[in-house]
Amino acid sequence: MRSKFRHVALFGKYHTTTQGGALESSRRALDDVAQFLNRQGCDVVLDKDTAAHTGLNRYPVLEMTEIGTQCDLGLVIGGDGTMLGIGRQMARYGLPLMGINQGRLGFITDIPLLSYQDVLLPMLQGHYQTEDRSLLQAQVVRDQRCVFSALAMNDVVVNRGGTSGMAELRIEVDGHFVSNQRADGLIIASPTGSTAYSLSVGGPLMHPSIGGWVMAPIAPHTLSNRPIVLPESSEISIEIVAGRYVSANFDMQSLADLILGDRIMVQRSEHKVRFLHPAGWNYFDTLRKKMHWNEGA
C-alpha cells in the first residue's frame, strides 16, 4: 500500500557547533529516512538549511515558503528543539508534522529513531492521530510602536540580566491590572511549554488540549506570587518598570536590549501547529515515559 502523502519535506537536526560524529549521524539518519520514503512512493525534498549543513545533495531542495505551499507532510528528524523551530515556521501553512526523535526528551518528536520504519509505515498509510497545538504571538512595544515580533511554541520568558538585583514587572491581563511583581523574571508558557522552563519554576503540567497559558514567576520576591493558569483568549501585558539588562526570549529567539517602559504583549496566534502521532498515542504515556514515573514500582 503506497503512502497517502505524495510530497514530503525532511527537516534535520543540525547546529553550527555540530561536528564530526554528531553531524555524520544526522546525515545518515536523514538519508536512510529519505530512501525509506522513496520506497513508499513519496517524493522527498530537503529544506535549504538542512541540505546546506548536512551536505546531502541527492534530493531536491526547497525554501521554507515553497515547502509550506507545495508539500503535504513535514517529517522532522531531531529533538524537540528542532521541532519547535520547524513548527513555528510551518504553522501558517497548516503543514502537518511528524517527528522522529534523535534528541533526548522527545515530548513532541515521538517516533523512536531505532524503530521508525515500523511506526512510520502505517502512519504514511493513514493510520495516525491528529493534534493541533496553539502558539503564542508576542510583540515588544516601545513608544507605542512594535519593535519586535515573534511566534513561540513553548514560552515567552522575560528575565533580568546577569547582574544582581531583581526586575520589577507590571502585569496586566485583558487590560486589567494584576500586580507589580519583583522577581528574576516571568514565564508565559503554552501547554506544550508547560513541560519546559515553566515546570522547573513550579508551574503545572497542562494537557495539550487545554485552552490556556501558564503565567509563572521566576524566583519571586513575594512568595505568595504563584503560577496561575489563564484562558488562551487572554492578552497579557508585561511592562518593564525597573531592572538592568532585562531581556525577552521567545523559544530560541531573543531580544536582549529591553529598556524601561517596554511592554511585552502576548496573545494567542491565529495559527496552530498540526502534529500527527502514531495510532494509539496517548499524552499520559508520553508523560510517564519522559518524566520517569512509576520507575522502580
* Positions marked active-site: 80
Cell of 158: 522575560
| 3-state secondary structure at position 98 | strand
Q: What is the DSSP annotation of 187-217?
A: EEE-TGGGGTHHHHTTPPP--TTS-EEEEEE
- Half-sphere exposure at residue 220, Cβ-oriented, CA atoms within 13 angstroms: 17
Q: Angle CA(229)–CA(231)–CA(237) in degrees, nearest 5?
A: 85
List phi, psi (to 5°) of 211: -85, 80
The alpha carbons of the chain give a radius of gyration, in whole angstroms, of 20
| Burial of 164: CB neighbours in 10 Å, binned 0-12, 13-18, 19+ | exposed
- Please state, in angstroms and as integers, the Cα–Cα distance from residue 68 to each residue in 39, 74, 132, 191, 290, following that order: 23, 9, 17, 25, 31
Between CA 3 and CA 128 the distance in angstroms is 13
